[in-house]
Amino acid sequence: MKRIGTYVGKQHGHPTGIVGRMVGERMIRQHVPETSWTISLLDLKMEDQVLEIGFGAGRAIELVATQIAQGHVSGIDLSQEMVRSASRRNAQAIKAGRVSLCQGDVTMLPFADNMFDKVFSIQTFYFWPDPQRAMAEIFRVLKAGGTLVVTLSTGSTRSIDDVGERWLRSYQTILEEQIIPGMKQLSFTTASIEQGPYSREFKTTAVVGMK
């Protein structure tokens, strides 16, 4: 049973093959509340240049693209399988040149400096190999005045004795003690922690910053 749990966990961090494809579609259904909340925090403008990191099966890319008719949505995800899924979901927008998706890692973004008005990421922070380096990369690609929103779960309604609950709660401390101070060192002009809606039993939190 534990081995199955570990396998499913791995599939969330790096979906592969047919199981990865199914996990990608399931995550779309599971992440509806935090996806719409994150997009609302972005305060999108028609001409925004937007980047999503870890887009999974590409539902947020699709939602953002419909809101910025004159803008552009870029996406990067570690998983080639998710690049395929999200590319299928956004085929028309890709053909029209309004969306472009690539495979890659948050710590090495293949984008020029000062390129994006908005950068966001939903339920991927746990898998970032080096969060401080990732934040520096995001800061580099954001335009001055640009906004960052990183959304994750920092708790659940399950008992405090539950290992998963304690693991999730530890992210609140990581955000407060490492990520927010790190963002201030990088010269983000604002850096705060916002509380969002519960998604299933999970407490939703976002780090919001402006360059």
Ligand X SMILES: C[S@@+](CC[C@H](N)C(=O)[O-])C[C@H]1O[C@@H](n2cnc3c(N)ncnc32)[C@H](O)[C@@H]1O
Stretch that binds ligand X, among 62-70, 123-131, 135-143, 201-209 (CB under 6 A): 123-131
> Residue 35 Cβ, how far from ligand X at the closest point, in Å?
6
Of residues 18 through 77, those in contact with ligand X by CB under 6 A are: 27-28, 31, 53-56, 76-77
Nearest distance from residue 11's CB to ligand X, in Å? 9
Nearer to ligand X, 47 or 67 (CB): 67
Interaction mask 142-161, ligand X, x per CB under 6 A? --------------------
Beta bridge partners of 51: 74, 119
Nearer to ligand X, 184 or 200 (CB): 200
Give the residue from 121, 119, 120, 115 showing the smallest Cα distance to 143.
Answer: 115
Secondary element (H or E) of residue 125: none
Pick 53 or 183: Cβ nearer ligand X: 53
Using CB under 6 A as the binding rule, whether residue 14 contacts ligand X is answered as yes
Around Cβ 117, how many Cβ atoms within 10 Å? 21
Coil, helix or strand at residue 183: helix
Compute the least distance from the CB of residue 75 to ligand X, in Å: 9
Give how far the C-alpha of residue 96 lies from the chain's centroid of Cα atoms, to the nearest Å.
24
* 85 in contact with ligand X (CB under 6 A): no
146 token code pair: 């640009």
Residue partners of 120: CB distance under 8 A and separation at least 6:
38, 39, 41, 42, 50, 51, 52, 53, 60, 148, 149, 150, 151
CB-nearer residue toward ligand X: 79 or 156:
79
Q: How would you label 23-60 residue by residue, b for 16+ Cβ within 10 Å and e otherwise? A: bbeebbeebeebbebbbebbebeeebbbbbbbbbbbbb
Q: Smallest distance from the beta carbon of 23 to ligand X, in angstroms?
A: 8
- 15 near ligand X, judged by CB under 6 A: yes
90-109 residues near ligand X, rule: CB under 6 A: 105-106
The reply on whether position 12 binds ligand X by CB under 6 A is yes
For ligand X, the binding residues (CB under 6 A) are: 12-15, 27-28, 31, 53-56, 76-79, 82, 105-106, 122-124, 127-129
